[in-house]
Structure 1
Amino acid sequence: MNKTLLAAITSLLFIGSACTTLNEEILDESHKTKQSDQEAADGTIAPVYALLPEIYKHTNYFAIQEISTDEAILPYRGGTDWGDNGIYIAMHQHTHTSTDPNLKSTWDNLVQSVSRSITAINTLPTLKSENVPTYLAEARGMRAFYNMLLLDLFGVAFVKDDIGKTSTILRGNDAVKYIESEFLAVEPNLQVRSAVGSGRLTKGAIYGLLARLYLNAQVYRDRYATTVNFPAEDMDKVISYCDKIISSGQYQLSADYFSIFGNNNHDNSELIFAVDQRPNLNGHNRLAYFSLSGDQFPLAAYPAANGTDGPAITSDFYKTWTQAYGTDDPKKDPRFYQENMSVYSNAGDTCVADKDYKINRGILRGQQYGAIRVNGVFLRCPDGRLKVGKLTNATRNRADLPVNFTETIDFTTAGSNYSTGYRVEKYEFSSSSNTGRNNGEADISIVRLADIYLMRAEAKLRKNNDAAAALADVNAVRAARTKTTPPPALTSMTLDLLFRERGFEFYWEMLRRTDMVRFGKYEGTWTEKTNSDPKKRIFPIPQTTIDGSSNLPGYLVQNPGY
């Protein structure tokens, strides 16, 4: 990415709250009296990407895609934290309504991003920069991507080219065909990942998004079907686009699973398309802080940077691991856990050099250890190294209660306490976060190579039950994680096993709800959730948006069941 475009995106990362129409005016706030066409082009494409960090924020897309599923749960912690008028409890129990602020925020950011894409599509052809064809393809492709998210979440897509006209709303197969046509149209003018990185739309990103669209297309065509029959022609397209990516030589499965989600992951060759969160872009995702205890302080340099006791995994999801590994501890799977602090395996290792202090990653269970903060500073060993030991809930004024994560978590008083639930530290805690609530610097995966293999495996199973070929794809991903002993190869493959495998590979990556709907499991029962209404497969259009379009009768119709 060139420096001018990088600066343009930086200046736009913290744009204010999103509007709910497709008529946003983008203002030029440059202090220059004259811009070159290249600078104008960079400044025009930058807003198209600028709200991605907000969309993928922990309380926006993450909450919708994870807390609504069997994977994550967020109780009213201690009766004081994360109550938020019950919105996270409602999201998990599928009793959410059209006034849910997380749904509104996500909707607003997506609709505003569509609007910004339209502005870029109309502005770029007036400029003479040599990058205009690529930028125009990116803007148009990103418009289709945002519409794909709107279709998946809310059941609608917006078609609009002329800034001055009202958008046409598409649903079902019409929306699928529109998004497909836009992706296909822009692919020839996009660059490859090696030229621009994973933070911009590339040919590989389009191939991956097309594969995802075709895999879910029949779900989108008939939202409330009792049984989804996946057409062979759709599955052939999934396989074809996955083949393009795998054979391109542009991407490689990572030997170190957790490096895919590390602070230096921008150049990780497994990432195909990601939210660019490098520090010089003022990255601010909070995915690493969201699940940690308020008494876990991951950075020796910042004694104010801690967790927030947010969501944990459900016992239901944890049991999928224990059922898979039987008498073996699931930590033998390198995707489940990565030990970074030796005190967990050697109780005598209680003094750690600041540069070596890193908390563990993956799914965290039991008694937690770490830097001990007293009166705002960390305890030190006699030689000046950081003192690590058993953590307690000192920040909650309960130093008598250990930070001991338990499997059981629910909405009862006991099940909602600060230490209930096994926690997830998949994304690495930012090395520059002085509060824990800022500067998340790990790029957030949108599409990565493992998903390409597993989508291809699923398409092969759904098309003609080619279990052998599907098994080979799944085992290729498992075998690639060689930094430590990789998980053992599987010996058979079914759709249920593949669904379980997707949970192991992609937990906390905001794919779970879409997967559960496609596999017919979203109406199931799990911890604190019994609602089986198929109308909950999509979310309500925010009521404020419905109200705002009331001057156009019949224009924006609420989804059934809300």
Structure 2
Amino acid sequence: MKNKIKLALLFGSILLNWNCTDLEETVLDESLNPSTEGIDEAVAAIAPVYANMNNDIWRHTIYFAMQEISTDEAILPYRGGTDWGDGGKYSDLYRHAMTPGNAIMKDVWNGVTKHIARSVSAINALEPLSETNPQAVVYLAEARAMRALFNHLLLDAFGLVFVKDNIDDQSVILRGSEAVDYIISELKAVEPQLLTTTEVGPGRMTKTGVQALLARIYLNAAVYRDPYGTPNFTPADMDAVIQYTNQVISSGEHALSAEYFEIFDDENHTNKELIFAVDQRADLDGHNRMAYFSISGDFYPLPEFPNANGTDGPAITSDFYQTWVDAYGDVDPAEADPRFHKDNLINEPGCVSAADFEVDRGIYRGLLYGMQHEKKGDPFERCEGDKYVVDLVVNNRSDVGDPVFHTLEVDFTTNSSHSNGYRVLKYEFSKTSDSGRNKGQADLVVLRYADIYLMRAEAQLRKGDAGSALADVNFVRAARTARHTAPALETMDLDILYRERGFEFYWEFQRRTDMIRFGKYEDSYTEKTNSDPQKRLMPIPQSAVDGASIIEGYLVQNAGY
């Protein structure tokens, strides 16, 4: 089991057997009692911790929605007045009008608490094994580190953590400084027992994974300690960020990718920029939907799959696009910055072979070129030498066959048609999936090397060292050399660094956390005017509060809800 744990192959049926352990923990915890006959006990214990994280947490409609659609980066209107309405859960989230009944809150909460419980179950199973099994020692450290990661997600979103070492015990709830200290202590305790990313790959928690997570927690610790106040970024916290980012850098295990979009390719598992990711390779039954979520429903990126179209989901806002324009002025951001867009497909009528057919990546604007067929499921049109016809993509909802044209303006009223808004195709459409559409096999990036430099830059900047911060940011910009390199920045301040994080990490589950830390979350932007700082934390789902009501005062709703 040195390189990977084959979660889906070993445990696809086991995961169906989860059930609650007792009445008091119904809404918080689950217990795993798998049959391990014929399976190594240590592997059987750790595998469920990692299994199905893509669907339970890092799904496009769950954690992505919470972290991106609650911000100035992504907006998901009622398309055509009907599509993506979903009871207003996306529009309410975007406007910061979410309530404890919002389904996204419930999905995030349930997914994260389920995996906290799985981690505790793994810890209980691995502790006795670790006395005689060296591999169980490693897995035990991983289980504790993953419990800390899941608790970090809970703290970031809801302002609390659950502390429990035995699956049959009642969890203790911590908030504020106590919660921060608990997570940090857990990560520090297990770091020495973990293996390296070189040894096990980015799909398991490793030494540099824990170091990167510690840096992220220290960077946000001021917010977590006082979620509604003005953050006090202490020198001690910033020194810790610098310490742990330096450790990741000095490990020599990771490298920046010369081609930015290779970080999100179908075969990105071996990309050295990944520090920790949700493993989605084909033999692990990968199933993420990040590729098709945003793009046009009239767009078909794979010749092999005439049903593999987009869903006309979220678009970037005009506000976020304007940050690119402001940064580069008269130069088109696609020409100035390799992270904005990568041309792969001809953007004119023509013919392309199946072997050469690859759609563009990044941010899509204006007219769209792609394969042609009369309706979904029909074979695509062919031309000379059995190549595929490429031409303007037609809007099938148009009575006169107008081409799809992605406009800049998108909102909840007049600009909410299926074509409105610039789109994002950051993760590659899977070329090995059996459906092409909803089984993307690119690993979902959680921690990556560029963030190490940008976190260190921020810590240096908050300590007054703008020169070192500028050097780190420019180091990342200069590393993207595969096509063209973004020009070096000449100055650095918090606003520029915040903008740079948007360019580097758009569509990567980070924007809400960044906006809060940089004091931008209460700003007004497209369709959003709510400036209530209590919306920094999400509402605890009403179902969880109700489920815990048998214990008076146990689970208290966050302020403002």
**Aligned in 2, Cα 1:503/1:18: closer, same or farther, shift over 3 Å?**
farther
Counterpart residue number, 2:314: 311
Deviates more, 1:531-540 or 1:128-137: 128-137
Deviates more, 1:294-303 or 1:8-17: 8-17
Residue 27 of structure 1 deviates from its aligned partner by 2.7
Q: Distance in 1 between matches of 2:454 and 2:192?
A: 26
**Aligned in 2, Cα 1:8/1:326: closer, same or farther, shift over 3 Å?**
closer
Structure 1 contact 289–429 (Cα < 8 Å) conserved: yes
Deviates more, 1:423-432 or 1:451-460: 423-432
Residue 51 of structure 1 deviates from its aligned partner by 3.4
Letter aligned with residue 404 of structure 2? V
| Secondary structure of the corresponding residue to residue 255 of structure 2 | coil
Q: Distance in 2 between matches of 1:318 and 1:7?
A: 39
Residue in structure 1 matching 2:266, options 263, 288, 295: 263
The 5 A counterparts of 1:437-448 are 437-448=437-448
* Structure 1 position 60 matched with structure 2 position 90: no
Deviates more, 1:370-379 or 1:483-492: 370-379
Counterpart residue number, 1:410: 411
Residue in structure 1 matching 2:122, options 120, 123, 139: 120
Residue in structure 2 matching 1:25, options 25, 31, 55: 31
Residue 7 of structure 1 deviates from its aligned partner by 4.6
Counterpart residue number, 2:515: 516
Q: Distance in 2 between matches of 1:84 and 1:433?
A: 28
Counterpart residue number, 1:505: 504
| Secondary structure of the corresponding residue to residue 401 of structure 2 | strand
Structure 2 contact 14–35 (Cα < 8 Å) conserved: no
**Aligned in 2, Cα 1:329/1:271: closer, same or farther, shift over 3 Å?**
same
**Aligned in 2, Cα 1:211/1:3: closer, same or farther, shift over 3 Å?**
closer
Counterpart residue number, 1:147: 151
Letter aligned with residue 280 of structure 1? D
| Secondary structure of the corresponding residue to residue 363 of structure 1 | strand
Residue 79 of structure 1 deviates from its aligned partner by 1.4
The 5 A counterparts of 1:176-255 are 176-225=180-229, 227-255=230-258
Residue 392 of structure 1 deviates from its aligned partner by 1.2
Q: Distance in 1 between matches of 2:257 and 2:14?
A: 32
Identity %: 55
Counterpart residue number, 1:380: 382
**Aligned in 2, Cα 1:292/1:538: closer, same or farther, shift over 3 Å?**
same
The Cα offsets for residues 68-114 of structure 1, whole Å up to 9 and x where unpaired, read as: 00000000001121010111100100001101111101100100100
Q: Distance in 2 between matches of 1:407 and 1:14?
A: 47
Residue in structure 2 matching 1:327, options 325, 330, 333: 330
Q: Distance in 1 between matches of 2:297 and 2:399?
A: 12
The Cα offsets for residues 231-269 of structure 1, whole Å up to 9 and x where unpaired, read as: 000000000100011111100011010000000100000
Residue in structure 1 matching 2:282, options 271, 279, 283: 279
Residue 533 of structure 1 deviates from its aligned partner by 0.4
**Aligned in 2, Cα 1:144/1:18: closer, same or farther, shift over 3 Å?**
farther
* Structure 1 position 294 matched with structure 2 position 297: yes
Counterpart residue number, 2:491: 492
| Secondary structure of the corresponding residue to residue 539 of structure 1 | coil
Letter aligned with residue 21 of structure 1? V
Residue 525 of structure 1 deviates from its aligned partner by 0.4
Residue 24 of structure 1 deviates from its aligned partner by 1.8
Deviates more, 1:163-172 or 1:3-12: 3-12
Residue 2 of structure 1 deviates from its aligned partner by 4.5
**Aligned in 2, Cα 1:231/1:307: closer, same or farther, shift over 3 Å?**
same
Q: Distance in 2 between matches of 1:532 and 1:504?
A: 24
Counterpart residue number, 2:51: 50
Letter aligned with residue 325 of structure 1? Y
Counterpart residue number, 1:401: 402
| Secondary structure of the corresponding residue to residue 351 of structure 1 | strand
The Cα offsets for residues 441-475 of structure 1, whole Å up to 9 and x where unpaired, read as: 11111111100000000000111x11110000000
Residue 9 of structure 1 deviates from its aligned partner by 6.3
Structure 2 contact 351–384 (Cα < 8 Å) conserved: no
Structure 1 contact 9–50 (Cα < 8 Å) conserved: no
Counterpart residue number, 1:41: 42
Structure 1 contact 72–313 (Cα < 8 Å) conserved: yes
What TM-score do you get using the length of structure 2 for normalisation?
0.95
Structure 2 contact 371–391 (Cα < 8 Å) conserved: yes
Counterpart residue number, 1:106: 108
Long gaps (5+) in structure 1? none
What TM-score do you get using the length of structure 1 for normalisation?
0.95
| Secondary structure of the corresponding residue to residue 446 of structure 2 | strand
| Secondary structure of the corresponding residue to residue 48 of structure 1 | helix
Structure 1 contact 144–182 (Cα < 8 Å) conserved: yes
Q: Distance in 2 between matches of 1:483 and 1:134?
A: 37
The 5 A counterparts of 1:428-467 are 428-433=428-433, 435=435, 437-463=437-463, 465-467=464-466
Letter aligned with residue 517 of structure 1? I
Structure 1 contact 67–73 (Cα < 8 Å) conserved: yes
**Aligned in 2, Cα 1:51/1:488: closer, same or farther, shift over 3 Å?**
same
Q: Distance in 1 between matches of 2:12 and 2:472?
A: 40
* Structure 1 position 129 matched with structure 2 position 133: yes
Q: Distance in 2 between matches of 1:461 and 1:336?
A: 25
Deviates more, 1:106-115 or 1:1-10: 1-10
Letter aligned with residue 27 of structure 2? T
| Secondary structure of the corresponding residue to residue 370 of structure 2 | strand
| Secondary structure of the corresponding residue to residue 113 of structure 1 | helix
| Secondary structure of the corresponding residue to residue 393 of structure 1 | coil
Structure 2 contact 4–201 (Cα < 8 Å) conserved: no
Counterpart residue number, 1:539: 538
Counterpart residue number, 2:23: none
Q: Distance in 1 between matches of 2:450 and 2:548?
A: 41
Counterpart residue number, 2:77: 75
Structure 1 contact 294–307 (Cα < 8 Å) conserved: yes
Q: Distance in 1 between matches of 2:338 and 2:176?
A: 40
**Aligned in 2, Cα 1:10/1:515: closer, same or farther, shift over 3 Å?**
farther
Counterpart residue number, 1:475: 474
Q: Distance in 2 between matches of 1:437 and 1:252?
A: 30
Residue 12 of structure 1 deviates from its aligned partner by 4.0
Structure 1 contact 12–46 (Cα < 8 Å) conserved: no
Deviates more, 1:363-372 or 1:9-18: 9-18
Q: Distance in 2 between matches of 1:438 and 1:557?
A: 37
Counterpart residue number, 1:363: 363
Residue 159 of structure 1 deviates from its aligned partner by 0.5
Long gaps (5+) in structure 2? 21-25
Count the aligned residue pairs: 549
The Cα offsets for residues 491-538 of structure 1, whole Å up to 9 and x where unpaired, read as: 000000000000000000010000000000000000000000000001
| Secondary structure of the corresponding residue to residue 415 of structure 2 | helix
